[in-house]
Every structure is written in structure tokens, then in C-alpha cells.
Structure 1
Amino acid sequence: MKNRITALFGIQYPIVQAGMIWASGWRLASAVSNAGGLGLLGAGSMYPEVLREHIDKCKRATSRPFGVNVPMLYPDIDKLMEIIVEMQVPIVFTSAGNPATWTAHLKEKGIIVVHVVSSVKFALKAQQAGVDAVVAEGFEAGGHNGRDETTTLTLIPAVKEKIHIPLIAAGGIATGRSMLAAMVLGADGVQVGSRFVASDEASSHRSFKDRVVAAGEGDTQLTLKELAPVRMLKNGFYQQVQEAYSRCATPEELRELLGRARAKRGMFEGDLEEGELEIGQVSAIIHDIKPAAQIVRDMMEEFDTAREAVRGLQF
């Protein structure tokens, strides 16, 4: 399949595996890249030397393009970027910050830069900063999300109308049918997170993967907007957050309740009650854990089948 995204990244299919914290290590990223998509390492849960190790192992595991997702609020971002440049990572996805901060520097080093946004306003700012593409992520997505609660169905055509650079859709995409829908709306490719959490190669804890597969409709909620909006599964920690809201807790009290390493505790260590379990609404239609390569194959087969079915629709 050839389009602006496959040409930009040098990949076979316009499927990007999201660089999720505690899930996107070298095994997952290399598996997706080897399958024809674009694998991303999730630097948000890595110390600089851990990122160096994962880049090295990813290079050994695949000869195909891969990238690194870097949340720009990371305290050691200077060190992360230094390692990325030194180790000649070809593609960087930035998020949670001003794209103008690092885009020019990375592009001077020959690196392709993509920025994750949740609104038309920020998509335009990213384009102005010189990024090569944007990921427009809708309200359905897991993890940290936009405050405006704009759904993917609305966000993609709105962003497409205003930008001229390639557009990647994210949020609620886990199947070939949803991939086709996003591309009909104007996306050149898709970024997939939650579906790849439920893969054999994801570094997240098996108990968390099983909880994702068991999730049903309404089992996730976007909350903690006073700090940084995050969509998570409803569990013991989520109930503590709701109780805090019921007594009108201040942002400082919410921050104290969140504490440190809450996401690691849940997603990486497998504490399903006291941990923060970040995942998207689409978890309700994820029913199994399977190899990342099989996920890519299934998505493309379903995409092709759906495309043919649409051609045969009678109105």
C-alpha cells in the first residue's frame, strides 16, 4: 500500500504502533516494524540509559524503520534527545509540549518529526513548527488525552480541512474497519495503541493485558483533568479519585493521591487495584492477546475486505 505516510516513513502499511509507557519496548516496536508497520519505543517510561538499551536492541531485531515517542514534559528530555541523535534514530514522535522546542534541531539532524495533537489549534501550531506530519488523537484514546473531549470522528476531518501535511488518526482504532473509516475521513494513516497493549510482545504486565481483554463498554473514564487528563480503567484507584472529587479535593490533594509511579505500579507491575490502568475505550472490543505481527495482518486483511464491501454498497 502506497500513500503519503508509507512514503514518509519507508514502511509497507500506514499503521503506527503508539509509543505507550510501560508497553512499548524494543520487542513490540521491532515486531511491528518487521510486520510492515512503524514500531515506536515509548521513551516516557524510560531513563536515558534504558532508552539507549532499547534502541540498540531494536536495531538488532529489525532492519526496518522504527521510531521513538518522547513526551516533552520528561525531566531528562535533553539527554533523551542526545541519545536519539547519537544513535541515529530515523523518526521521532513528540507529544505533551511545544513542538517548536525540538523540531528544528531534530530535522537538522535528518530526523523525521511527528507531533501528537488533540485539536485543530495545536495541529496548526505543529505544522507551523515544521513537523513532517501530525497525529490527531481523539477523546476515545487511552492514557493522557486532550481536555476538549473531541472525538476522533469529529477531529480528523476538522484537522484535515486546515493542514496540508500528512495526517495520522488516533483514538478508538483497533481494527481494519476503523482504519478504513479514519482514512475515509481524511487520515493518511492510523496510530494504534490499545490493540498493541494486548499483544504478546508488549512489555506491560500479563495481568494488565488480561484486564484489558476483559474490559467492557463503559469500563474506562477520562479523569484527573486538573493535573493531566488521563483515560483509565475503573478500579480501586479510580474509585479513590472519584471519592476525592466528591469531597471537592484540590489539585494538590489529587496530586498527592496520584503520587509517583502509579502507572508503573498498575501497567508494568500488575497491581490491578492500586495501579493506574491507562487504556482506551476501544478495549471493549479487544478480546484476545496475540502476536503483534498477527494484529498487523488482521488489520490489513480486514481493511481490504471492508474496502471491497464499501464499493459494493447500494444506496
Structure 2
Amino acid sequence: MLVTALTKLLNIRIPIIQGGMQWVGLPQLAAAVSNSGGLGILTALTQPDPNALRLAIRETRKLTPKPFGVNITLLPTINPPDYEGYARAALEEGVMIFETAGNNPAHLVKSFKDHGCIVIHKCTNIRHAKSAARLGVDVLSIDGFECAGHGGEEDIGGLVLLAKAAQELDIPYIASGGIATGRGLAAALALGAAGANIGTRFLCTVESPIHQSIKDKIVASKEQDTVHIFRTLRNTARVYRNTVSEQVIALESLPGGARFDELRDLVSGQRGRRVFETGDPDYGIWSAGVALGLINDCPTCEELLRRMEREAEEAIKGMAELVQG
């Protein structure tokens, strides 16, 4: 049994957190991950409004007696969502674990900590991690270059970033990006992490709410099948390589680059949602990490987490045997 600062803090069996994925972090997946020994996460902004999040929390509680959390990602946008409303709804429903990401979460962290909640914050570099630690978050999720979605602008891989975190951070941290197997989990633990935040691998599980055709596409894909968009806008995001992402890159490559309003229709979140609903991988932009290359099947969350737990334990025991004398 793997016992880390994360398993103790969250009262979970396996030190794995399901990433807060847009359009994917729904009750059926979050509950399945929690029931399987990890920590499931509902994605607040997947719900159209705070009351819908309230109903999703209640639905999740019907599906699992285990702990689960809520992700609130603070986005750079002209018309920001009702972040405070989402947070208030979750608190009123008794949620005690939150994952924050994106812009400065100071106002949310204070509210969550005032209510005695546990806060996990996602960062893409050590500088931001230290700032979040000063705000009072309990756990830092360190996003390496390998991760899906917005991994920052510094392009530092997890191998260095996690080792640097071990040198610089005073609170528990977990690894995010490129982890889809128990061997990867063991590697993260060896680098000083207390666990892992996993997204892309959970896309391809039985309980994932996305279309089976997209799951099949993930199984057939390789680690080369992602690209970065929004490089020229300094808002880099790793997404699946398809006709739409290639169009975005082509526009960004023109002399002078491209304005966001020239890309808006191509990268619409609603188009990305339709990918997962209809099963057409080329309809819109959808996030995926390089962990694609490690995914060869579509198991249940229970099967996946038990496999990863076993693989990690075997890898750790194998490393222990290297020490002799």
C-alpha cells in the first residue's frame, strides 16, 4: 500500500488525483475515480451555472461515499464566469477539497481556508508555486511541459521541474503531465512528489463521459500526436493534433501572427465540447497530453487504478533491490 502525504491528507488509498478537465469532470467519472481509491474531481466550469454545479455535487454524492473535490480554473477572459458563485455553491454543499488553477486564486483560497477546506493549486513553475504556498494552499500540483492544456511558457519538463520542487518547496506537491502508468507514478514519487494529477489517461476509461470514438482515437494515437497552439499569444496550450489545431498553427505562422479574434471561431469551447459528444476528432480543439503514447486500452477506473498501484509498488520494490550492502 502506497502511503504518502497526499493519501494521508485526503484520506485516499492511491496517491492519484483526477485532473479537473473541461467537459469531462462530471459526476460519473469523479465518483468512479473516488470509488477506485483516488480522488475524483468535478470541473465547476463544465456546469453552466453555480446551481447546476450544486446539482452535480449532489449527484456525485449519490454515486460515492468517498471524498471528491471541485476544480475552479480562473481563466483570462473579458467576461469572467461567476467564480464566487461556483465557490459558494460548492461550499454550501459541503465540499471540503478544492483544486484551483489559472490566474491568481488568492480570493478563493482565503474563502476556502476560512471554511477549513483543503486546497490544491496547479502551477507551471516554481516561482508561482512559492506564491501559492504563501497564500496557504495545502498541496501544489506541478505541471510539466508534458501536460495537456496550459502548461505555461517556460517549456520545462517534469523531470527537472519536480526535482527542483523537492529543493525549493516546503509543502507537499504532486506531479502533473505525462503520467499514465504505475511506473510514471513511481518516478514522480522518486522525484519527491506525494502523488500524481492525471488527466489524459482518465479520458480513456469506461466511465469517462466522452464519445467512444474519441477513446478509440486516443488508443490509436502516439506521443507525437499533440501540438502547441497560442504560442504567439503567450497563452500556449497543448492540444490534440487535428485539422483545426493545424489551421490555428498555420494562422499563427503568418507574418505578424494572428489576433485572437481571428482564431476565436476555430478554438471555440463549444466546438471542443462537440468533439466529445459526437466523436468527430476533427470538429474542434481538444486538450491531450503526450501521455497519449502510453495509453493502449480503455479500462474501468477500478482496473486502471489497481493496475497503476501494482505497477508502482513493483517499480519501487525493484528500485530498492538496486541498493546493496
Task: Give the superposition deviation at 1:293.
Answer: 1.0
Aligned partners of 1:87 and 1:131: how far apart in 2?
A: 21
Task: Say whether the 8 Å CA contact 2:244–2:266 is kept in structure 1.
Answer: no
Partner amino acid, structure 2, of 1:188? A
Q: Which residue of 2 aligns with 1:91?
A: 97
Counterpart of 2:279? 270
* Other-structure match for 1:33: 34
Q: Secondary structure at the match of 2:168?
A: coil
- The SS at the match of 2:103 is coil
Superposed counterparts of 1:144-223, under 5 Å: 144-223=150-229
Aligned partner of residue 116 in structure 1, secondary structure: strand
Q: Say if 1:262 and 1:144 are closer, same or farther in 2 by CA, change over 3 A.
A: farther
Q: Residues 107-122 of structure 1 correspond to what in structure 2 (within 5 A)?
A: 107-122=113-128
**Alignment correspondent of 1:42:** 43
Shift of residue 36, structure 1, vs aligned partner? 1.1
Match of residue 232 from structure 1: 239
Task: Give the superposition deviation at 1:18.
Answer: 0.8
Q: Deviations over 1:240-286 (max 9, x none)?
A: 11221232332232335424523212234323112112111011110
Q: How many Å apart are 1:37 and its aligned residue?
A: 0.8
**Contact residue 267 and residue 276 of structure 1 kept, 8 A:** no
TM-score normalised by structure 1 residue count: 0.95
Question: Identity of counterpart residues, as a percentage?
Answer: 35
Q: How many angstroms apart in 2 are the aligned matches of 1:140 and 1:175?
A: 14
Unaligned runs of 5+ in 1: none
CA contact (8 A) 2:149 2:287 kept: yes
Return closer, same or farther for 1:224/1:9 CA change in 2, 3 Å cut-off: same
TM-score, length basis structure 2 = 0.92
Moved over 3 A (4+): none
Deviation at 1:239, TM superposition (A): 1.7
Partner residue in 2 for 1:65: 67
Q: Would you say how many aligned residue pairs link Structure 1 and Structure 2?
A: 315
- After superposition, the CA RMSD in angstroms is 1.6
Partner of 2:24: 23
Closer, same or farther in 2 for the Cα pair 1:216/1:310, shift >3 Å? same
User: 1:82 is matched with which residue: 88, 91, 96?
Assistant: 88
Mapping of 1:283-302 within 5 angstroms? Answer: 283-302=292-311
The 8 Å contact of residues 227 and 255 in structure 1, kept in 2 or not, is answered as no
